[in-house]
Amino acid sequence: MNIVQLIQNRFQDALHSLVADPGPLAAMVRPTQDVKHGDYQANCAMSLGKTLGKKPREVAQEIADGLDLGDELEKPEIAGPGFINLRIRPDWMARQLQAIAEDERLGVSKVAPAKNYVIDFSSPNVAKPMHVGHLRSTIIGDSLTRLLRFLGHTVITDNHLGDWGTQFGMLLYGYKHFVDAKAFEADPVRELARIYLHMRSLMKADEDEEGNKIPDPVAEAARQETAKLHAGDVENVQLWKMFMPACLEEINVIYRRLGVQFDHMHGESFYNDMLPDIVRELEEKGIAERSKGAMVISFGAKEPPALIQKSDGAFTYATSDLATIRYRVKTWNPDAMLYLVGSPQALHFKQLFAAARRWGYGQIELEHIAFGSVLGEDRKPFKTREGGVIELGALLDEAVERAGQVYEQSRKESLERGEEIVDLGSEERRQIEEAVGLGAVKYADLCQNRLTDYVFSWPKMLAMNGNTATYMQYAYVRNRGIFRKGGVDAAKYRNQPPLPKIDNEHERALAVQLLRFEESLLAAATEYQPSAITSYLWDLAKTYSGFFQNCPVLKAESEELRESRLLLCDLTARVIQKCLELLGIRTVERM
């Protein structure tokens, strides 16, 4: 049920007699910011008045007079300088809610035509533990995957692992010279991480303060090990194969915990054999050229060239990324490919997509879905107190631990107020703390505009009020509690739903929010912005809170009103649960 689209279509028809292209004007229909102005509002009369040389109020009235109201809309109201205020008829809303209650998809239609997407997200370097820098790509990518699939698109997820790049040259050199054999046997990933950091500490800056290149024998040795690996050196390939299983399991532990799944996990190594042919073809087509012994793609004087093969023969990220485009097009024939990578990589993807279009892939939608950074309270990149990058596993552990602390504090306060509380078993409590802790971390990220940086704050993300996962999960629990308390089976409101009554302002406000579910999801998908879902959730939760406080449910004035309000409660719970599911966040039945 997409009400805004329905109304915009009505406006298109009404505007045809006034303007040749009514689409942009009809698109100005938006939900109102204040319910006293109705449910939706159109301000197209102001701009159209200038075009027609008429007063905006006169144009607004002309549009309103030509508007087909159907059985959805009440008579429009002209306000101010020419706003057209629109209200949905309560009887129509009631019938729609009754129909939605019987629908497993809650009134959300599948898109037509559907697209075939490939989504590239997370993309850690497998030679070291995942850290907080992988958080945004992983959870934004997972949420977009869930959303697009729910809307009816085909989505193929491909985790492009860093398993073949320069960091492996560092590991190979470091392993050969600095490995602690016992430590590697006990915990390969930790020992490889230690080796990597040790190698970083040995490597010098590339330039001095005056910009002169500084020779670095360790860095050069690591580059040589990388080149040998790419060339198929037996020893290096064997070591690489020895490193990989433990490294992959380490990241899969994190993915399982986050509930993130991939259809494919193709590392850079998967494409290695394809790279020579790609470089050769790019050169033959005049897309790439030799420069100082290396192979580059030029983009004019204002941009640096993209390096696709170094002078020592080693290939680069750009070469591997071009190989992924060719492979994905041949294998999955996508309409669009989305890359979930931080904003600092904007130039890389701008050049990658430009090169791909020259190469013959201009028919594919290639999108860099950029995002900002996670910052600490000091507004600098989020790190440990010791200054190191926070490992993702440790961050999740702390989230769960803090969720337990919040639960204990809430339980203590409830007991002090003399409230009856539920004693939870240890296993149920563990599951709740996991759902609340991980949900808090995900929601705090997803509720931000993905393009902005955000400050990581435990107190804010675990708050029981405000726009947080904890508040949404609690709103769901409180809703389900009504049915437990009343001994009511919610299934009856899905199998044979009653026609709800939309009589007072709180019932009406909740009904309008429930009917905006589909348009909110479509807005999120159009902009690739999960924050559109969290904004909708926040509006729905606040509206439900007003309904909960002002509209008795189990003690309603009549049986008919009780049934109506139970239906509204059940629909609200289902929509909250579905929204959280699309964000990759679990609900619990008790908290």
- What percentage of the chain has pLDDT greater than the value 90? 65
Give one word for 360, left, alpha or beta, with left for phi > 0 and alpha for psi -120 to 50.
Answer: left
Q: Judge whether residue 46 has pLDDT over 90.
A: no
pLDDT at res. 416: 85
CA pair distance 133, 383, nearest whole angstrom: 10
Domain boundaries, given as residue ranges, for the chain: 3-88, 162-245
How much is the pTM?
Answer: 0.90
**Closest-CA residue to 171 (of 120, 208, 128):** 128
User: With 0-12 CB in 10 A as exposed, 13-18 as middle and 19+ as buried, what is 496?
Assistant: exposed
Tokens 């299934």 map to which residue?
491
- The CA-atom distances, in angstroms, between 178 and each of 93, 170, 172, 197, 198 are 70, 11, 10, 11, 9
pLDDT of residue 206: 56
The pLDDT, as a whole number, for residue 562 is 96
Query: Can you tell me the distance from the alpha carbon of 470 to that of 312, in angstroms, rounded to the nearest whole number?
Result: 53
Contact by Cβ (8 Å): 120, 14: no
What whole-number distance in Å separates Cα of residue 296 and Cα of residue 277? 15
Q: Spell 62-81 as b/e; 16+ CB within 10 A means b.
A: bbbeebeeeebbeebebeee
DSSP string across 19-34: -S--HHHHTT-EE-SS
Question: Which own/partner pairs from 205-208 qualify as long-range (CB within 8 Å, at least 24 positions apart)?
Answer: none
Contact 566, 555 (CB under 8 A): no
Report the candidate in 16, 87, 211, 124 with the shortest Cα–Cα distance to residue 515.
Answer: 87
Is the per-residue pLDDT at 166 higher than 70?
A: yes
Asked whether the predicted pLDDT for residue 49 surpasses 90, the reply is no
Helix axes of 217-230 and 188-202: crossing angle, nearest 10 degrees: 130
- Is the bond into 113 cis (omega within 30 degrees of 0)? yes
pLDDT of 400 reads 94
3-state secondary structure (DSSP) of residue 458: helix
Q: By mean pLDDT, which of 266-280, 303-317, 544-558 is the weakest?
A: 303-317
The b-or-e profile of 10-29 (16+ CB within 10 A means b, else e) is: bbbebbeebeeebeebbebb
Confidence bin at 301 (pLDDT 50/70/90): confident
Tell me the mean pLDDT in the region 37-53.
Answer: 88
- Judged by average pLDDT, the poorest of 25-34, 149-158, 380-389, 523-532 is 380-389
Coil, strand, or helix at residue 119? strand
Q: Report pLDDT digits (tens) over 197-250.
A: 899 889 865 544 444 556 688 999 998 998 888 788 999 999 999 988 888 888
What's the CA gap between 580 and 540, in Å, rounded? 12
Pairwise CA distance, residues 369 & 341, whole Å: 6
Core vs surface per residue 534-553: b (16+ CB within 10 A) or e: bbbbbbbbebbbebbeebeb
Q: Are 536 and 530 in contact (CB under 8 A)?
A: no
Q: What angle do CA 391, 135, 409 make, to 5 degrees?
A: 75
Residues 56-78: pLDDT tens digits? 899 899 999 999 999 999 999 99
101 — alpha (psi -120 to 50), left (phi > 0) or beta? alpha
- pLDDT, tens digit, 9 for 90 and up, residues 448-478: 999 999 888 888 888 878 899 999 999 999 9
Answer for the pair 528, 141: CB distance below 8 angstroms, yes or no. Answer: no
Predicted local distance difference test score (pLDDT) of residue 235? 96
**pLDDT interval class at 435 (50, 70, 90):** very high
Distance CA 414, CA 407 (A): 10
b/e string for 446-459 if b means 16 or more Cβ within 10 A? Answer: bbbebeeebebebe
Q: Is 388's pLDDT higher than 80?
A: no
Rounded CA-CA distance 365/191 in Å is 41
**Which is more confidently placed, 515 or 389?**
515
Each residue's pLDDT tens digit, 529-565: 999 999 999 999 999 999 999 999 999 999 999 999 9
| HEC profile of 479-496 | HHHHHHHHCCCCCHHHHC
Higher pLDDT, 86 or 417: 86
Q: What is the pLDDT of residue 122?
A: 96
Q: What is the dihedral of CA 564, 566, 567, 571, to 10 degrees?
A: 140
What is the C-alpha separation between 258 and 271, in angstroms, rounded?
28
- The dihedral through the CA atoms of 447, 449, 455, 456 has a sign that is positive
Whole-number pLDDT of residue 459:
86
Angle formed at CA 242 by CA 182 and CA 142, multiple of 5 degrees: 110
Fold of 3-88: Gyrase A; domain 2 (3.30.1360)
More confident residue, 118 or 1: 118
Q: What is the pLDDT of residue 208?
A: 47
> Whose structure tokens read 């389900």?
480
What does the pLDDT read at residue 205?
58
Q: What is the pLDDT of residue 456?
A: 86
**H/E element, 290:** strand 289-291
Compute the distance between CA of residue 429 and CA of residue 118 in angstroms, rounded to an integer.
38
Q: Which residue has the tokens 């729609």?
A: 96
